[in-house]
Structure 1
Amino acid sequence: MFVRRRISALSSALMLVLALGLLLAACGGATSTGAGSPATPAPGAKKVSIGLGYVPDVQFSPFYVAKSKGYYNEVGLDVTFNHGIVPDLVGSMVAGKNTFVFVSGDELLTAREKKVNAVNVGTIFQKYPVSLIVPEDSSIKSLEDLKGHTIGVPGEYGASYVGLLALLYKAHLTKADVKIQSIGFTQVPALLAHRVDAIMGYSNNEPLQLQKRGVKVRTFAVSENYPLVSNGIVATEEMLRTDEKTVRAFVQATLKGLQDVIKNPEEAVTISKSYVPGLTDTAGALEVLKATIPTWQGKGKLGYNDPAVWEATARFMVDQKMISPVKDLQKAYTNSTVL
């Protein structure tokens, strides 16, 4: 999912950029981002890359800040960011196209089901970033109230769809109890036009768009209802085993960038402008970024992999018949590169 899913959360002013970027990426594949960084890699720096998926966006600012401020250089790394719609980001890493990838827990477990030896070395999004959204005056006041209602999702894929399944799972409902309607990335207009009763969207995007239009909303955040592992940095088991020094260096430098974004989001937006084509609405981007920061912060250290959340994610996926029972779940993640 996120994500390859890694579905971008954008302010309304950036939605056009997203749409155009998706079309271009679909036609041209992945693109590399690195220009605009004042930090020039030192001679002899080790070249590594990370597949971030989709289009450049402020949600990736921890990486941009880490590069721009020289944190990767300090640990001897020359980092390239690869964006673009890639059907299988984990597969791109195994194929040698990326050193690391940025994917969600469900994506990783799905890959491991296919015997791909990949491991999460640091979960950046400590909270699953999507929510179910309804108008404040909706009769849907609890998840159980969803029964019989129409719910709009971009499609039956990605973080929004997985998040919806988790919310239904929490409420002891199934897909048969609701009407799931694929509406593309038109959640806001669909809800405003009453074409659907509820929508799934990113907690830092659609609620903000609706509020700007004067619509008060009620949200049901996935993170507040069912624990799912969201996006993190993933490496191959082989690389972690043979070159843990590089893996740890990359993770620690990224977490340093993440800390800076949390402390100074205004600076992060300014830095991101060098990496995000068309980012001119800095106020809107800052609003989105400030709404994103809470999803990066959990109960423990930044980047921490919570075993209980991994257990819950695996249990949900097995019950939903997404994967078979997992016997080696502890091999899917590590905290050795975080702590």
Structure 2
Amino acid sequence: MKNTGLAILTAAVLAASLTACAGNGNQAVNMETSDLKKVTFVLDWTPNTNHTGLYVAKEKGYFKDAGLEVDIVQPPEDGAEVLVASGKAQFGMSFQDSMAPALVGENALPITAVAAVIQHNTSGIISRKGEGLASPKGMEGKNYATWDLPVEKAMVRDVVEADGGDFSKVQLVPSTVTDEVSALKSKTVDAIWIFYAWAGVKMEVEGLETDYFKFADLNPVFDYYTPVVIAGNEFLKEDPETARAFLSALSKGYEDAQKNPQEAAQILRKAAPELDEKLVMESQKYLADKYQDDVDVWGYIDPVRWNRFYEWLNENGLSSPEIPENTGFTNDFLPQ
């Protein structure tokens, strides 16, 4: 843009003799843009701090430096997985648990998880403080907002029964929750499954005292990967260099978000100004040491943890057909 502006100013001063220079300047800008390889990334939901590294990488020019022009789009109703599988997007955001049905059977989709956004599962059950739900057994007789998903209910059953509770006594209420804080304050429900980095931090920001337990703390099987970056299998096969270039640039974005969460939060809000400033800032601080946590390279997926969760699905009849070992993920495209 600077080149174009300079050319226009020069043309105004020197008249027709340098009009061609302005044209050449524009041509150079167009050539620069055309040299960038276009990549589409589809989100799983509206922008939030799970996505910050993506926006940082775009804002700071890491994608451009890697020869890429990245377009970030909202997901369709049927989710990011379908768009990525169809080749209409090269990358997207998903979750290991919700990926499972897409990996096997007649409706299998050609997608692969290529990076873990956060190293450990921070999701769990939140409730109003002091009402007996600090542990899973306390869910007996309480209203739990369920999505009515088989894997979800099986996980809740697992932790409740392991704590000596009776899952049949948990009152399953169809979830219509759009604002977790309001739902708990109004006592519409007693317990909600949340991702703490956003909804849990929001409880803190809005001053609601809560009890909370994480699934990963209760059963190591539930320390699966959520969320993950996915890519289309055909794209990975045909253009592995672009995949590596994208993930290298993306890793720089998440590394920056770790080192400077305040700056990263400002970049996210610039991209999504509708987000609450304090919530974004506090959520970003919460996630800063969780993106990479205990691994050397951002995005690394531990095969043991990945396989362990799918083995649990198989053993509990939650996948038909069963998911073979090492299905649905790779570390091959991460920076070495």
Q: TM over 0.5, yes or no?
A: yes
Partner of 2:284 in structure 1?
289
- Is residue 56 of structure 1 aligned with residue 51 of structure 2? no
Partner of 2:171 in structure 1?
179
Partner of 1:261 in structure 2?
257
Matched length? 295
Cα distance between partner residues in 1 of 2:148 and 2:170: 14
Counterpart residue identity of residue 67, structure 1: K
Partner of 1:278 in structure 2?
274
Partner of 1:103 in structure 2?
94
2:197–2:286 Cα contact (<8 Å) kept: yes
Tell which deviates more after alignment, 234-243 or 76-85.
234-243
- Is residue 333 of structure 1 aligned with residue 329 of structure 2? yes
1:218 partner SS: strand
Give the counterpart of 1:156 among 143, 148, 154: 148
Cα distance between partner residues in 2 of 1:92 and 1:132: 30
Give the counterpart of 1:312 among 305, 308, 312: 308
Structure-1-length-normalised TM-score:
0.78
Give the counterpart of 2:158 among 158, 162, 169: 169
Give the counterpart of 1:192 among 185, 192, 207: 185
Counterpart residue identity of residue 183, structure 1: T
Counterpart residue identity of residue 287, structure 2: T
Give the 3 Å change call, closer, same or farther, for CA 240–307 of structure 1 in structure 2: same
Partner of 2:8 in structure 1?
none
2:40–2:70 Cα contact (<8 Å) kept: yes
* Structure 2 runs not aligned, ≥5 long: 1-30
Cα distance between partner residues in 2 of 1:43 and 1:316: 47
Report the structure number with the largest CA radius of gyration.
Answer: 2
Query: Once the two structures are aligned, what percentage of the paired residues are identical?
Result: 24
2:117–2:228 Cα contact (<8 Å) kept: yes
Counterpart residue identity of residue 168, structure 2: A
1:296 partner SS: coil
Cα distance between partner residues in 1 of 2:166 and 2:66: 48
Give the 3 Å change call, closer, same or farther, for CA 162–286 of structure 1 in structure 2: farther
Cα distance between partner residues in 2 of 1:231 and 1:59: 8
- RMSD in angstroms over aligned alpha carbons? 2.6
Give the 3 Å change call, closer, same or farther, for CA 141–57 of structure 1 in structure 2: closer
2:119–2:225 Cα contact (<8 Å) kept: yes
Give the 3 Å change call, closer, same or farther, for CA 186–275 of structure 1 in structure 2: closer
Residues 31-90 of structure 1: CA distance to partner in whole angstroms, max 9, x if unpaired? Answer: xxxxxxxxx974411111111132233431100110111111121111110114431321
Cα distance between partner residues in 1 of 2:166 and 2:240: 42
Tell which deviates more after alignment, 103-112 or 320-329.
320-329
2:56–2:257 Cα contact (<8 Å) kept: yes
1:131–1:163 Cα contact (<8 Å) kept: no
Cα distance between partner residues in 2 of 1:309 and 1:295: 16
Residues 253-283 of structure 1: CA distance to partner in whole angstroms, max 9, x if unpaired? Answer: 111100001111111122223311424x433
Partner of 2:246 in structure 1?
250
Cα distance between partner residues in 2 of 1:199 and 1:41: 49
Cα distance between partner residues in 2 of 1:277 and 1:72: 22
Give the counterpart of 1:139 among 132, 141, 148: 132
Cα distance between partner residues in 2 of 1:213 and 1:116: 40
Give the counterpart of 1:236 among 215, 232, 236: 232
2:270 partner SS: coil
Residues 201-248 of structure 1: CA distance to partner in whole angstroms, max 9, x if unpaired? Answer: 220233333334543222112332321221111112222223211111
1:42–1:73 Cα contact (<8 Å) kept: no
